A and B are shown apart, each in its own frame.
Chain A
Amino acid sequence: MAKKGLASVVVVSNAFVGLGKAQARSLGHPTLPLAVIAHPFGSRKREELKTVASQCVSQIITLVGLP
């Protein structure tokens, strides 16, 4: 998506930030923004996920520079 010029953000849990950054570098997008959420993610309950999601959306909006 970033290669096509579309605003792009990668959502990643904090245990995988290193992987996300390394992958972005390898793919030629070292400045690709990462929205970071707390790990672990898979075992959270639905209500907790809603909170995580709403925080994440705020991060994404900031990272893509939306007003």
Chain B
Amino acid sequence: MSALPLNAASLVEAPEDLDELIEFFHLRRWSDGLPIVPPTRERVQRMLTGSRRQAHEVVARVAPGFGEATVERIAINAVMAGCRVDHLPVLIAATEAISDKSFNLQGIQATTNPVAVWLIINGPLALQLEVNSGMNCLGQGSVANATLGRALRLIMQNIGGALPGDMDRATQGQPGKFSFCCAENEAQSPWLPLQVDRGFAPTQSTVTVVGAAGTHNMNSHAKDADDLIRVVADTMAFPTSNDYWISGEPWIVIGPEHAQILHAAGLTKAEVKQRLWQASGLSAKRMAKVEFQRTHTARCEELGAIDLDSSLPISSHADGVGIVVAGGPGTHSVYVPSFGDTRAVTRLIES
């Protein structure tokens, strides 16, 4: 019999009774507070069949505890979250993505800010896995949306070590920290999908991770593109946003009806970004004095001299405004301000 690698997951004796077992996981802080699916050896073995990778291959080291995210450990958390076998490659790609330096997982996991990791799935796999991109795509009701986001949270907590109140220092946190996952509604988008903007082919499936500081509904019955851009940009500009003081990367989930209005006016996605970026300048005098000072320090190289009469751009360039088309019928789009000191990362999902 060959010896197990040093990074092999340990087998733990757990109660057979389901109620006792769930309590066993809660007491050890291995759960997010919700009941888990027991990660028995058999279930984990079955989950591992979802990837061609070796069980003990290290995918990444997850901040802030820098635990080794092996394929096996990712699979264990996937089982616990209720994922299906074919979800595993998405989680492997997502774990790689959050560990990219530009994502700043260290900051996201340990900050007092309410940052959730938003997963956006693109490409044919989104349809195959039935990741909801339509009505209620950021809400409840879809197995993939609920369990993929949950599994990534468990990976960040159990492998990365960011337990609430310990290394996770969020002042309040936010509901998206339980799960925050959707697909792009590529069928109803008038533009090329997100993964193509980010250098992949339409036939490739990707996961994009975003350090999201919340969701804000933008209900507008505007029928005119100029009017719509004006009110969306006005919503983006609020003085307590991290994006302004540090030059962030905010996102807009544009509902299909709003996307059609913009497209009908002849606007490309890049033009919408440009218009939003230009119109969302924040008057520096709206900030608290200390935030203005922080902005002055953090963005002096980028902006040069600024004063209270300056209009501050939300990001250093128009492409810093992220756009994804998602949702169902209705006059709604969603503003997703970012943590600020983070950049979205996209990874290919291995088929």
Contacts and interface: CB of A to CB of B under 8 A. Distances in A.
Interface of A: 15-16, 18-19, 22-23, 26-27, 42-43
A23 B64 contact: yes
Interface string B158-181: 000100001101000000000000
A19 B66 contact: no
* Majority SS at the chain A contact face: helix
15 contacts: A16-B169, A19-B64, A19-B110, A19-B167, A22-B64, A22-B65, A22-B161, A22-B166, A23-B64, A23-B110, A23-B167, A26-B65, A26-B161, A42-B290, A43-B290
A22 B65 CA distance: 7
A19 B169 contact: yes
A19 B161 contact: no
B167 A22 contact: yes
Contacts of A15: 169
B166 A19 contact: yes
* Majority SS at the chain B contact face: loop
Contacts of A27: 66
Nearest to A43: B290
Interface string B49-91: 0000000000000001110000000000000000000000000
Nearest to B110: A19
A18 B166 contact: yes
A26 B64 contact: yes
Contacts of B66: 26-27
Closest 9 A-B residue pairs measured CB to CB? A26-B65, A26-B66, A22-B167, A19-B167, A18-B166, A23-B64, A19-B110, A19-B169, A22-B166
A11 to B, nearest CB: 15
Contacts of A23: 64, 110, 167
Contacts of A22: 64-65, 161, 166-167
B260 to A, nearest CB: 44
Nearest to A25: B65
B25 to A, nearest CB: 21
Contacts of B65: 22, 26
A27 B63 CA distance: 10
A42 B293 CA distance: 12
Nearest to A18: B166
Contacts of B110: 19, 23
A2 to B, nearest CB: 15
B29 to A, nearest CB: 13
